[in-house]
A and B are shown apart, each in its own frame.
Chain A
Amino acid sequence: AQTVTQSQPEMSVQEAETVTLSCTYDTSENNYYLFWYKQPPSRQMILVIRQEAYKQQNATENRFSVNFQKAAKSFSLKISDSQLGDTAMYFCALDRGSTLGRLYFGRGTQLTVWP
């Protein structure tokens, strides 16, 4: 069974500061993909960043980066220089290599960026 756990239901950070959201997962697959999706109040799911499990290098997208620890099955998201527009629910998700497109989501972390 695949599971994704986000242990922080809510977090807050001041504008321009850095925040890290945690995610742990469990899968027996060797080839899989990990994602962070953002869901702002508009409710649309927006891809923030993705990581292929076979790549050791941590993914980076502008102010967003991940710390992928495969042995520990940990996949945290770091947001640098936080902006008010980063306020959203953030979901960690796992996609098994054998069933691409079927995502297993965590319960989410509500991030609030305040001025």
Chain B
Amino acid sequence: DSGVTQTPKHLITATGQRVTLRCSPRSGDLSVYWYQQSLDQGLQFLIQYYNGEERAKGNILERFSAQQFPDLHSELNLSSLELGDSALYFCASSAKTGARNTGELFFGEGSRLTVL
């Protein structure tokens, strides 16, 4: 158990809909990262938050947005869903960001999104 909790584990929805994925990081971890794993794109970084502020953006679509709340949990919002958005969405956390961080991430079990 990594200590990172993601809900829901599975989600099936229709094209055009909007969903919210939730992540609770390990206790004390300030950084949260979202990754997408799909057959086409493999594993790719979407976005990072540190202590409530956005720190880095990757290949995140404009239809997607995220935020990190004062209690450090994070949500990834996916809107106007398309078939190609079907993927496994991972959340990961780490203690810090910056020079002292060895870069080790702790991953949740992922949220499997299926868009029909």
Contacts and interface: CB of A to CB of B under 8 A. Distances in A.
The answer to whether A and B assemble together is yes
Chain B contact patch, size range: 20 to 34
B31 A101 contact: yes
Contact of A33 (B97, B103, B106): B103
B44 A105 contact: yes
Contacts of A104: 45
Contact of B43 (A33, A47, A97, A105): A105
Interface string A76-115: 0000000000000001000101011111111110000000
Contacts of A43: 88, 109-110
A47 B103 CA distance: 11
B104 A107 contact: no
A15 interface: no
A56 interface: no
Contacts of B102: 33, 50, 52, 100
B113 interface: no
B80 to A, nearest CB: 26
B101 A101 contact: yes
Given A101-B33, A102-B33, A102-B56, A35 B108 contact: no
Chain A contact patch, size range: 20 to 34
Contact of A44 (B2, B31, B33): B2
Given A43-B110, A105-B43, A107-B42, A50 B88 contact: no
Given A44-B2, A45-B90, A95-B103, A101 B48 contact: yes
Nearest to B96: A100
B42 A100 contact: no
B43 A50 contact: no
